[in-house]
Amino acid sequence: MSGATADPRFATRTAPRKGMSLSWSDPLFRSVVWQVLIVGVVVAIVWYLVSNTRHNLEVRKIATGFGFLGREAGLPIGESMITYSPTDTYLRALWIGVLNTLKVAITGIVIATVIGTLVGIGRLSKNWLLAKFTAVYVEVLRDIPLLLQLLFWYAILQALPGPRQALHPVDGVFLSNRGIKVPLLEWQAAHWWTLAAFAAGAIGAVLWSRACDRRQAETGVRPRVWPIALGLMVAFPVVVWLALGAPWTWDLPALRGFNFQGGGTLTPEFMALLAGLVIYTSAFIAEIVRSGILAVPHGQWEAANALGLRSGMVLRKVVLPQALRVIIPPMTSTYLNITKNSSLAVAIGYQDIVSIANTTLNQTGQAIEGIAIIMLVYLTISLSISLFMNWYNARIALVER
Amino acid sequence: MTPPASAAATTADTIHVPAPTRERPPASVYGPWAWLRANLFSSWWSTAFTLVFGYLLIRWALGFFNWAVINAIWSVPGTGQQVDTSACRALEGAGACWAVIGEKYRFILFGLYPYDEQWRPAICIALFIGLYIVSAMRRFWRKELGLIWLGTLTVIGILMWGGVFGMEYVPQEKWGGLAITLILATFGLAFAFPLAVLVALGRRSTKMPAVKMLCVLYVELIRGVPLISLLFMASVMFPLFLPEGMNIDKLLRAQIAIILFAGAYLAEVVRGGLQALPKGQYEAADALGLSYWQRTGFIILPQALTLVIPPLVNTFIGFFKDTSLVLIIGIFDLLTAGKTAIVEPAWQGFGVEVYVFVALIYFMFCFAMSKYSQNLETELNRHRRR
């Protein structure tokens, strides 16, 4: 086919157009009429709805516009990553909602990917017990609605004893119906420097590994990568940390009166939401990973083994790059699903953007603006995730001739 | 050639062939012991894992068995407002209190529907299940299936509302439980699917850029936002959209939101099928001189839809689970009924039992669908795997 069209003699020649004739037998005319009709109907419906809305707003004396964002919110927020008091504006309250959504979505994506990958690989294991257990895990968890799972975990966390009888599995960790209390490292400047040293070390390790690749390409001998990489990423930060006096004080939670003082808190709402999201989504990720690995033909494993690659290398250099091509597109939509599903937080009282926008909407009566904000936030997040994943997908895509 | 009969007779007389002794394969490759070795103890790692994990699993299973069966309480004295749940409270979580299910299962399944009339939603649930089974059978995949759906859904509507044939009228606010979940899912599907096909066709159209743009806008917008935001829209914004004085009930508004939501996702699945169809099919249909709708209805859609049945069923499953989100806007579906059942002070704190019961109902529906989709996939792909 393509060979034939490449030949100039057979090149498709479009008949010269004489412009559109106003006859029903002209396909162009028909398509224009249909389009005008359909678009007209849609516009008419939208116009009808908008005019109704405007009329209703007038009747109910609701002022439109986003002016309410600057007003004092007066809504209490239990958990926030930035400072907040009820006297702050609605805008700040909504921003906290966005941050809380991002917090649970990003944590959820990372943990669900790790667990899901392990479960997916486990399902392919030769160990019968592991394979059966992971199969049951996947089949059961993905067939139960997420909202139900959230309510279930929340009910379990609520059934934990009160702060005075808190469970105390490890020193400094308390489990109670007020959430999980964990020790917190007292953050000092030295820790920032250590973190910076780690980042620099990581960049150095990447550069070193690239240099090793070049050496291998030139000489055929690959220098050992890991000792220097390990030194850069572990030893260097540790040295920096020691040089700065090795600060190591922990803020331990302790029971004072009826509640805990100090330490970091993971609220029951956050834990229930995270547990539900991670467990539900990891079942889907497991299936994606499994089908990705199964999609690599068996001959690829055999060929790699025949070349004498070690099993780690087979996985890393041969199987994974091919499996990733199958895995990435469905993984993208799963990540988008986690983000969108985090909106179920509103059912258990975790204050994400939907929850805060909903409260705002009830307090101010600005229904249209409130819902517009929710949609805008999610559209932005969805678009960013899919842009990033598309970029990553393009990077690992098969380079064809 | 000499007939072999005589030859065989002579050889049998003269040559003694010893009966072959069947040697059993060694125990290392055959039998339960070998199976254990191959599947549970094949390497050091495998052995260690089996032992540790097996121990944990057995402990957990015993703990669960204790909770769910041995220490469980199956009924408590009293009923309704006078129920005495002190026996369940005394357990302090060591055992399940299944009495809550015995007491509340009618409420969970039928919600606030009048008690004496609950046979009506019960029949509706049976009709829904029958409808699903009939639709799943390939021998019913023809035009009459549409009529069956239409008839069954009409009967369900009559049964739920009542008011005719001597049945008491039951307003929609009193409906609830499993019936609502099945109504939302089934009616949603029945309307979302045709919408999805139209949108998918629109998005594929090359001759109508304006229509294509509308379809892209619809699909991408809906898929970019969570279902909750659409449900909120249905519950708080919808009343603003309608002319003054006109009002439609909450269930219908949620139903519309679910249809719009499912339509966008199903449209993407259908589009996948349209894209997977070889171009030659389109060209051949054009060469026969078929019109657009003839081509689409007779050639393209039958093939494209068959290609995507497994992902379609998976979308249905997701969508069935998603109907539970109506809890957030206060519609009385199965999950809301379960959550409300434990609001009563006597039953507070027995959420886990109720949620396990509700989860079991959801699981049965979804698992049946997913098994069906897997079987269908192997069946439909049989011609490809010769």
Residues B136-169 have pLDDT tens digits of 887 877 778 888 888 888 888 888 887 777 777 7
Contact check, Cβ <8 Å, B50/A129: yes
- Report how far residue B186's alpha carbon sits from residue B125's, in angstroms, rounded to the nearest whole number: 11
B50: chain A residues, CB-CB within 8 Å:
127, 129
Contact check, Cβ <8 Å, B243/A27: no
State whether B58 and B143 are in the same domain. no
Contact check, Cβ <8 Å, B228/A42: no
pLDDT for residue B385: 53
Hey, where are the domains in chain A? 26-61, 90-186+249-396
Of A14-28, A118-132, A276-290, A291-305, give the lowest mean pLDDT range.
A14-28
Residues B55-87 have pLDDT tens digits of 999 999 998 888 888 877 777 777 666 777 777
For chain A, the first-to-last Cα distance in angstroms comes to 19
Whether B353 has a pLDDT exceeding 90, the answer reads no
> Which of B223, B225, B261, B313 should one mutate to test binding to chain A, selecting the residue with the greatest count of A CBs within 10 A?
B225
- Report how far residue B52's alpha carbon sits from residue A160's, in angstroms, rounded to the nearest whole number: 27
Q: State the average pLDDT over residues B177-193.
A: 89
Q: State the average pLDDT over residues A24-47.
A: 86
Among chain A residues, the shortest Cα distance to B350 is held by: A155
Residues A148-169 have pLDDT tens digits of 999 999 888 887 777 777 777 7
A280: chain B residues, CB-CB within 8 Å:
none
Contact check, Cβ <8 Å, A152/B351: yes
State whether B56 and B146 are in the same domain. no
Q: Which CATH number goes with the domain that contains B168?
A: 1.10.3720.10
pLDDT for residue A7: 61
State whether B321 and B201 are in the same domain. yes
Judge contact between B205 and B275, C-beta under 8 A. Answer: no
Give the domain-ending residue among B35, B52, B68: B68
Whether A100 has a pLDDT exceeding 80, the answer reads yes
**B55 touching chain A per CB within 8 A:** no
Residue A217: pLDDT band with limits 50, 70, 90: confident
Contact check, Cβ <8 Å, B237/A371: yes
> Which of A127, A149, A333, A368 should one mutate to test binding to chain B, selecting the residue with the greatest count of B CBs within 10 A?
A127
A379: chain B residues, CB-CB within 8 Å:
221, 224-225
Of A118-122, A210-214, A325-329, B319-323, give the lowest mean pLDDT range.
A325-329
* Residue B372 exposed, middle or buried by CB count within 10 Å (0-12, 13-18, 19+): middle
Q: Among A334, A339, A336, A348, which residue's Cα sits nearest to residue A270?
A: A348
What would you measure as the largest C-alpha separation in chain B, in angstroms?
108
Residue B3: pLDDT band with limits 50, 70, 90: low
Whether A1 has a pLDDT exceeding 50, the answer reads no
| A325's tokens | 């091509």
Judge contact between A321 and A396, C-beta under 8 A. Answer: yes
**Which phi-psi region, left, alpha or beta, contains residue B111 (left: φ > 0; alpha: ψ -120 to 50)?**
left
Judge contact between A113 and A285, C-beta under 8 A. Answer: yes
pLDDT for residue A135: 92
Contact check, Cβ <8 Å, A367/B325: no
A146: chain B residues, CB-CB within 8 Å:
321
Question: Percent helix, strand and coil across chain B, each rounded to 5?
Answer: 75, 0, 25
Whether A147 has a pLDDT exceeding 80, the answer reads yes
Residue A390: pLDDT band with limits 50, 70, 90: confident
State whether B143 and B271 are in the same domain. yes
Distance from CA of A314 to the nearest CA of B (A): 19
Total domains in the fold of chain B: 2
| H helix count then E strand count, chain B | 18, 0
**B229 touching chain A per CB within 8 A:** yes
pLDDT for residue B170: 76
State whether B202 and B328 are in the same domain. yes
Question: Which of B51-60 are b and which e, b meaning 16 or more Cβ less than 10 Å from the residue's Cβ?
Answer: eeeeeeeeee
User: Helices A128-141 and A268-295 sit at what angle, rounded to 10 degrees?
Assistant: 120
Contact check, Cβ <8 Å, B40/A152: no
State whether B204 and B339 are in the same domain. yes
Among chain A residues, the shortest Cα distance to B234 is held by: A371
| A117's tokens | 């990958």
Helix (H, G, I), strand (E, B) or coil at A265: strand
Q: Give me the long-range contacts of A198-204 (CB less than 8 A, separation at least 24).
A: A198/A233, A198/A236, A198/A237, A200/A236, A201/A232, A201/A233, A201/A234, A201/A236, A201/A237, A202/A232, A202/A233, A204/A232, A204/A236
B3 part of a folded domain: no
Helix (H, G, I), strand (E, B) or coil at B47: helix
Residue A11: pLDDT band with limits 50, 70, 90: low
**B147 touching chain A per CB within 8 A:** no
pLDDT for residue B258: 92
State whether B120 and B61 are in the same domain. no
Contact check, Cβ <8 Å, B210/A56: no
- Report how far residue A32's alpha carbon sits from residue A348's, in angstroms, rounded to the nearest whole number: 51
A38: chain B residues, CB-CB within 8 Å:
208, 210-211, 214
Whether A115 has a pLDDT exceeding 80, the answer reads yes
pLDDT for residue B155: 85
Range of A41-50, A77-86, B343-352 with top mean pLDDT: A41-50
Q: Which residue has the higher pLDDT, B383 or A238?
A: A238
Q: State the average pLDDT over residues B247-273.
A: 88
B300 part of a folded domain: yes
Whether B349 has a pLDDT exceeding 90, the answer reads no
Please, which residues have CB within 8 angstroms of residue B93's CB and are 6 or more apart in sequence? A159
Neighbouring CB atoms inside 10 A of A363's CB total 15
DSSP A50-81: HHHHHHHHHHHTPPPSSGGGGSB-----S--S
A151: chain B residues, CB-CB within 8 Å:
335, 339, 351, 355
Whether A360 has a pLDDT exceeding 50, the answer reads yes
Q: Which helix (H) or strand (E) holds B281?
A: helix B279-287
Q: Alpha helices of A296-366 — where are they, by DSSP H?
A: 298-306, 311-313, 320-341, 353-364
Contact check, Cβ <8 Å, B339/A42: no
Among chain A residues, the shortest Cα distance to B369 is held by: A143
pLDDT for residue A200: 92
Contact check, Cβ <8 Å, A55/B317: no
Q: State the average pLDDT over residues B275-302.
A: 87
State whether B44 and B145 are in the same domain. no
Amino acid, res. A315: L
Q: Which helix (H) or strand (E) holds A119?
A: helix A90-123
pLDDT for residue B1: 45
Whether B358 has a pLDDT exceeding 50, the answer reads yes
**B50 touching chain A per CB within 8 A:** yes
What residues make up the domain containing B356?
A: 114-384
B54: chain A residues, CB-CB within 8 Å:
129
**B352 touching chain A per CB within 8 A:** yes
Nearest residue, CB atoms, A144 vs list B243, B351, B362: B362
Whether A23 has a pLDDT exceeding 80, the answer reads no
Whether A19 has a pLDDT exceeding 90, the answer reads no
pLDDT for residue B287: 92
B369 part of a folded domain: yes
State whether B32 and B158 are in the same domain. no
State whether B40 and B184 are in the same domain. no
B303 part of a folded domain: yes
> Which of B55, B89, B232, B269 should one mutate to test binding to chain A, selecting the residue with the greatest count of A CBs within 10 A?
B232
Given CATH 3.40.50.150, say whether it is the number of domain A90-186+249-396: no
DSSP secondary-structure letter at A256? E
ipTM beyond 0.90? no
**B210 touching chain A per CB within 8 A:** yes
Residue A112: pLDDT band with limits 50, 70, 90: very high
Size of interface A-B (CB pairs under 8 A): 156
A53: chain B residues, CB-CB within 8 Å:
240-241
pLDDT for residue B354: 87
Residues B86-95 have pLDDT tens digits of 777 777 767 7
Residues B328-339 have pLDDT tens digits of 888 888 888 888
Contact check, Cβ <8 Å, A371/B210: no
State whether B258 and B338 are in the same domain. yes
pLDDT for residue A243: 85
Q: State the average pLDDT over residues A204-212.
A: 89
pLDDT for residue B192: 92
**Mean of per-residue pLDDT scores for chain A:** 83
In the numeric block, the tokens 């929710």 are attached to: A374
Among chain B residues, the shortest Cα distance to A59 is held by: B244
Nearest residue, CB atoms, B355 vs list A152, A344, A361: A152
CA torsion sign, A133 to A135 to A138 to A139? negative
Whether A12 has a pLDDT exceeding 80, the answer reads no
State whether B197 and B284 are in the same domain. yes
Contact check, Cβ <8 Å, A49/B241: yes
